[in-house]
Amino acid sequence: MLSKTFRVALAILAATTLVLVSEQVNAQQAYPTKPVQLVPAGSPGGGLDIHARAIEQALTVEKMLDKPFTVLHKGGGGGNLLTSYLVNQKGNGYVIGINSNRVLLNELMGTIEYGYKDLTPIARLTTEYECWAVRADSKYKTALEVMADLKKDPTSVTFGVGTVPSDDQFNILLPAKKNGVDYSKIKIVAFDAGGDAMAKLLGGHVPVLSTGFSEAITQAEAGKVRILSVSSPTKLDRVPKVPCWKDLGIDVAIYHWRGIYGPQDMPKEAYGYWIKKFAALVKTKTWKGSLEKFELFDAFLPGEEFKEMLAKDNEIYRELLGPMGMLKKGKK
């Protein structure tokens, strides 16, 4: 017959073993074990919110959502609120954010001390493309005619854009630089948004507009404007007769992209999970339908490739903005 002391010892051993096994099982549970916070750097109804909702919808419809999302908007500050939020979530695998190249521009300009190196780039997802547009009655029939005037006198053509710095602006500066124009002297007028800029073009306030393709195509199809060039790497199906920069001998492609970031030191299992999840997401019918609906283009780049792209873009922006006097002191 077992002594009372021995029975107690066995009970303690059994309880300890049960606790250890339970802890091992919990540790081995597949990520995620709880809801994930999806944080767009924008307000409800904006472009980044549309991306967040499209991601959630595609994962749900395609039965790929292992745990629900909670969407938290961090609009304002040109994306800085999201960047600061992610920086303060260091090591958290249950928060991912959606932002654009503002994460690069804001750090370069000094509106925030953090940049892409303070985050974990997970994937570039989509892009829009830029274009040059003129009124239908403009003297300019091609983008090269505009370039010819700029080469003679960089101040001779005034461009309208939605804001600066922006891809609208870079769609002027980078092609001009590649074509031998002193781009620092080009006159660029920023308006409140793409729609307002289009109104200024139609009203004759500026001769050329650099804007998102989606902002110009409706007016072009209505016969009110002429699109001279697109910033995509190849021609766009919707405007097959409009050349891209490379068609014109200017080796430039400009992407107005959106990407997914996590906090710095994101756990490996979370990082790997989301790279695989987004790689599968972009192939789904639901996601492709959202791209078509919102006039977006696939631009998927996973993890390290996205990080390499960010490093390259960061240097391009630094080189472009320096001569414009738009860099924070010490960023040159």
CB atoms within 10 A of CB 309: 18
In this predicted structure, which of 13-17, 46-50, 53-57, 149-153 has the lowest mean pLDDT? 13-17
Rounded CA separation 290/278 (Å): 14
Rounded CA separation 241/243 (Å): 6
Same domain, 199 and 234: yes
Q: Which residue has the higher pLDDT, 18 or 261?
A: 261
Same domain, 219 and 167: yes
What's the pLDDT at 29? 72
Q: Output the CA angle 160-214-169, nearest 5 degrees.
A: 30
Domain stop point among 192, 214, 248? 248
What's the pLDDT at 23? 40
The residue to which tokens 């040059």 are assigned: 132
Quick one: average pLDDT of 81-95? 98
Domain stop point among 214, 248, 282? 248
The residue to which tokens 């005034």 are assigned: 158
Judge whether residue 4 has pLDDT over 70.
no
What's the pLDDT at 17? 46
Task: Tell whether 332 is covered by a domain.
Answer: no
Same domain, 227 and 143: yes
Q: Determine contact, residues 227/102, Cβ cutoff 8 Å.
A: no
Task: Tell whether 26 is covered by a domain.
Answer: no
CB < 8 Å & 24+ apart, contacts of 148-152: 150/176, 150/179, 150/181, 150/186, 151/179, 151/180, 151/181
What's the pLDDT at 27? 42
Task: Tell whether 14 is covered by a domain.
Answer: no
Same domain, 235 and 311: no
Q: Determine contact, residues 41/48, Cβ cutoff 8 Å.
A: yes
Quick one: average pLDDT of 262-284? 98
Structural domain boundaries, residue 153: 128-248
- DSSP H or E segment with residue 186: none
Same domain, 177 and 316: no
pLDDT band at 193; cut points 50, 70, 90:
low
pLDDT band at 76; cut points 50, 70, 90:
confident
Task: Tell whether 206 is covered by a domain.
Answer: yes
Same domain, 140 and 192: yes
In this predicted structure, which of 17-31, 41-55, 106-120, 264-278 has the lowest mean pLDDT? 17-31
- DSSP H or E segment with residue 157: none
The pTM assigned to this predicted structure is: 0.87
Same domain, 233 and 266: no
Judge whether residue 3 has pLDDT over 70.
no
The tally of domains found in the chain comes to 2
CATH of the domain at 183: 3.40.190.10
Q: Determine contact, residues 140/208, Cβ cutoff 8 Å.
A: yes
Same domain, 194 and 161: yes
Task: Tell whether 30 is covered by a domain.
Answer: no
What's the pLDDT at 19? 40
Task: Tell whether 49 is covered by a domain.
Answer: yes
Same domain, 134 and 244: yes
Judge whether residue 129 has pLDDT over 60.
yes
CATH of the domain at 263: 3.40.190.150
Judge whether residue 84 has pLDDT over 90.
yes
DSSP states along 40-80: ESS-TTSHHHHHHHHHHHHHHHTT--SS-EEE----SGGGH
Task: Tell whether 2 is covered by a domain.
Answer: no
User: Tokens at residue 9, please?
Assistant: 């010892």
User: Dihedral, CA atoms, 55, 60, 65, 71, nearest 10 degrees?
Assistant: 50
pLDDT band at 195; cut points 50, 70, 90:
low
φ/ψ of 174, rounded to 5, equals -70, -50
Count each helix (H run) and each strand (E run) in the chain, helices first: 11, 10
pLDDT band at 6; cut points 50, 70, 90:
very low
Rounded CA separation 288/31 (Å): 26
What's the pLDDT at 21? 39
Same domain, 137 and 234: yes
Beta pairing partners, 40? 98
Over residues 14-51, the pLDDT tens digits come to 444 444 434 443 444 799 999 999 999 999 999 999 99
Q: Rounded mean pLDDT of the chain?
A: 91
Rounded CA separation 112/108 (Å): 8
Domain stop point among 229, 248, 267? 248
**Measuring CA to CA, how many Å separate 322 from each of 82, 115, 139?**
26, 17, 33
Quick one: average pLDDT of 282-297? 97
Quick one: average pLDDT of 262-271? 98
In angstroms, the first-to-last Cα distance of the chain is 83
pLDDT band at 196; cut points 50, 70, 90:
confident
Same domain, 106 and 46: yes
Length of the chain in terms of residues written:
332
Same domain, 118 and 166: no
pLDDT band at 12; cut points 50, 70, 90:
low
Task: Tell whether 116 is covered by a domain.
Answer: yes
DSSP states along 230-284: E-SSS--TTSTTSPBGGGGT-----EEEEEEEEETT--HHHHHHHHHHHHHHTTS
pLDDT band at 331; cut points 50, 70, 90:
low
Q: What share of the chain has pLDDT > 70, as a percent?
A: 89
